[in-house]
Structure 1
Amino acid sequence: MASKRTPHGPEQHHKLIVDSTFIANPEPYDSDRRKMYYHSKSPTNYARKIQIACDFHHRIVHVSECYQGSVHDITVLRDSGLLAHVNDSVQIIVDKGYIGEDYVINPRKKPHGRELSDEDKNFNRDINSTRAAIENINQRLKTYAIIGGVYRGEIDDFEKTTKI
């Protein structure tokens, strides 16, 4: 049986829940940086993005490096190194931002002009209720101002400041 001192890395789990979240930045002065850090969901419209993976016990097991706000979620997953730490038997549960990869489990999209079948609706309900764990973790990190609010430091120091 594992003790509390046992490390809980991503390679030791059968199921991981993954999601990306943003950390708002003030508007950059440089127009090139404005394009790189643009993120429409951020309150300032400029942000950095990190990806967090947790296990089914709500423990954070992986935090990616920081990415520019304009980088897509699936690109963050591919570049984060998380996939290198897990084997093929690990199920990675994600949201619709990660559609397009065979090795992840995501909700099913509604077919164009048709409704989802009852089986697909039940599958989506199960996936989304499972994903609530990572959404709750992201919300707690923001509520307790760990990554909430607008980052006011130097953009170049952002990586050092936000590393957990």
Structure 2
Amino acid sequence: MEEKQVAIQQQFQASDNDQHKAYYYSKSPTNCAFKIQIACDFSHRILHVSEFYHGSVHDIKILRESGLLEHTEQTAQIIAGKGFVGEAYVTTPRKKPRRGELTDEDKNFNRDINSTRAAIENINQHLKIYANLGGVYRGAIDNFHKITKTGHVVSALCNLNLSKHPIRKYTT
């Protein structure tokens, strides 16, 4: 099972104050972001969609509050980025040690993990095709229940689209 956050950009009006911008945090000075956690399997199906969070919330907090860890069995692993190091049931790429280099074994491990994580990047791209998640969100930014429902509907539509038109056709 793979896991990824998708940042959704929301454009600010010129009258918004700095406190409001910090609340929704984004790296872009003119936008704010919402975060949503998406988990998919190796068949490119979305299995889990979290609630939306403000852009300033750390990714590990979203994972812990989403309930995904409680539903993960010991036989299943979540493949995630380096921001999730140390979390149970989460496999992350290995970091380069300070003033050192990764061993060939670590580099091969990271290559395998990152090629596996490419599937979720494909899912993210399919989600961003929908204007609600890929562009400027025009709804009320304080109604997180409505934004979450929108994310669930878009994820269901994406699953339907991917079932009819798969990203990769595997031959076994």
Relative to the length of structure 2, the TM-score reads 0.79
Alpha-carbon distance in structure 2 between the residues aligned to 1:119 and 1:43: 40
Alpha-carbon distance in structure 2 between the residues aligned to 1:159 and 1:48: 13
RMSD (Å), alpha carbons: 1.7
Alpha-carbon distance in structure 2 between the residues aligned to 1:43 and 1:97: 23
Structure 1 vs Structure 2: percent identity of aligned residues?
Answer: 61
Name the stretch that deviates more: 45-54 or 135-144. Answer: 135-144
Cα distance, 1:120 vs. partner?
0.2
Cα distance, 1:45 vs. partner?
3.7
Partner residue of 1:10?
none
Partner residue of 1:121?
107
One-letter code of the match for 1:35?
A
Partner residue of 2:25?
38
Partner residue of 2:76?
90
Cα distance, 1:60 vs. partner?
0.1
1:34·1:46 contact (CA, 8 Å) conserved in 2?
yes
For structure 2, the 5+ residue unaligned runs are: 153-172
2:127·2:134 contact (CA, 8 Å) conserved in 1?
yes
Change (3 A) 1:134 1:69: same
Instruction: Name which of 23, 48, 69 aligns with 1:62.
Output: 48
Instruction: Name which of 87, 97, 105 aligns with 1:101.
Output: 87
Partner residue of 2:131?
145
Relative to the length of structure 1, the TM-score reads 0.83
**Counting helix residues as a fraction of each chain, which structure ranks higher?**
2
Instruction: Name which of 18, 28, 32 aligns with 2:3.
Output: 18
Alpha-carbon distance in structure 2 between the residues aligned to 1:46 and 1:146: 15
For structure 1, the 5+ residue unaligned runs are: 1-15
How many residues in Structure 1 have an aligned counterpart in Structure 2?
148
